Structures are given as C-alpha cells and as structure tokens.
Amino acid sequence: MTDLLELSGEPIGLFSLRTRGQMPTGADHVFLKVLFDDNGRSIADIVAADLSVHASTSDPSEIHDCFRQSGQMIVSGAFKILVEQFQIPNTEFFPLNVITIATGVDYHRDWRDGVTLSDYWLMNCWNRLDATHYVDFESSNLHWQKSFVGHRPPWVRGWDKLCLKAEIKEDMFGFEGHLPLHRYVSPRFKEAADTAGLRAGIFQRSLKRFWIKD
C-alpha cells in the first residue's frame, strides 16, 4: 500500500448545523461535542431533533454528496445508500435538511433562507481499527500531539513516514486513539463512489508524508 484514501468531504464554504431552526444550545449541544471529540460512540441517545444545515451557497447544484466541518459529516441519500450497501459497521445516520441562502444575498451581511433540500443525513461513523495492530510505530516517523488537559495519552496527528504492518480490509474506518476526525475508505469503496458519480471528496494521502496542521 502506497497511500491511504481519506474521506475528506468536498469543500462547501462555511456552514452551520442547527437544531429546530436555532444554533444548538444546552442539551442540544452535547452531541456536537461528542462528534468533535471523536470519542467513538453512538449519538443516537443524545442527538437533537429537527436538524438542518445552512450552507453558504445559493446554487443547489453546489451541494455535494459528502461535506464536513468540525466532526460533522453530512452526506446525501445516494451516499448513505452506498455506505449501507458496503455494510459499514458502527455507522448511523440522522435525517436533516440542507438550506441554501437566497439567490443574490451576501451571506456575510444579509442571510435569508433559500431552497430547502431534503434527503441529506448527518453521518456518524465510529468504526475504528486498533492502530497497534496495523501501524509499525518503531519504523514510522510520526508527529505526536500531547494533551494539556486531562489524562489522554499522546496521539498521532500526522507523519513523515507511515509504515503499515498489516493489510487493512475495512471499507471505512478510523484509527482508535489516533488521527481524530479522519476517516479512510478502501479502494473498492472509492471506485464504487466514482462509478456512481458521487462527489464525495476522497483524496489520496501518501504514506511517505502527511502532516495535519493545527
């Protein structure tokens, strides 16, 4: 293997996830923190109802099949079907609407709702691999991050050289305790997404060098 295929999501500009038409506050905010912390759990018991995403575009054709920000991964119904066809474990979906801005409106100054698009979903995938089984830590040249709060062990944020010692057969995965907020897919998943014409933002990350900036 010469690289990993990262599901980064297509860029969409700024967007905000809202609940019941308002920015999440109080209890509604808990599930967003869980997503951002990427601590590997279901959010079915805490996710807020009536989710919507306000995207900074007035053109519905610019809304892609996968986009993300701060741990929030939004996918289209077509992308959801593909994930379900691959039977990705530890993955769940919650319905939401994507709302564009009104045509001709400068969203920095005068935001007004435009078109509402249904059949979009908040995807939470916590399918993790044990990094000690797949990563050769001694042979790799890794960038580590230390926690300054609490007792979390140091974690990998990037690499100059990443050596894998076992074949990865999962079709969508992350690494337990390392590379938080990053999900990777198999070559056959990428091929299926490309064949279906999905705009998902799957990029090659070379094992020779990949540095995640703060």
Query: How high is the pLDDT of residue 183?
Result: 93
> Is 4 inside a domain boundary?
no
Structure tokens belonging to residue 200: 């998902």
Same-domain pairing of 49 and 134: no
Can you tell me the mean pLDDT for 58-75? Answer: 86
Which whole number is the average pLDDT over 128-149?
Answer: 85
Q: Give the residue numbers spanning the domain of 94.
A: 11-125
Range among 7-11, 81-85, 100-104, 109-113 with highest mean pLDDT value:
81-85
CA-closest candidate to residue 163, choices 197, 190, 136: 136
Task: Determine, yes or no, domain membership for 152.
Answer: yes
Cα–Cα distances in angstroms (integers) from residue 2 to residues 126, 136, 188, 203, in the given order: 24, 15, 15, 13
Domain end position, chosen among 81, 107, 125: 125
Total structural domains within the chain: 2
pTM of this structure: 0.85
pLDDT of residue 93: 97
Residue finishing a domain among 125, 152, 177: 125
The beta-strand segments (E) located in 88-197 are: 91-101, 113-125, 128-129, 141-145, 155-161, 172-175, 184-185
- Residue 79 pLDDT: 98
Highest mean pLDDT among 60-64, 84-88, 99-103: 84-88
212 pLDDT band, cuts 50/70/90, is very low
User: Using 50, 70 and 90 to split pLDDT, how confident is the model at 88?
Assistant: very high
Question: 131 in the Ramachandran plot: left (φ > 0), alpha (ψ -120 to 50) or beta?
Answer: alpha
Same domain, 15 and 97: yes
pLDDT for residue 210 is more than 50? no
* Domain match, 198 and 136 both: yes
C-alpha 159/C-alpha 145 separation (Å) is 12
CA gap 109, 59 in Å, rounded: 18
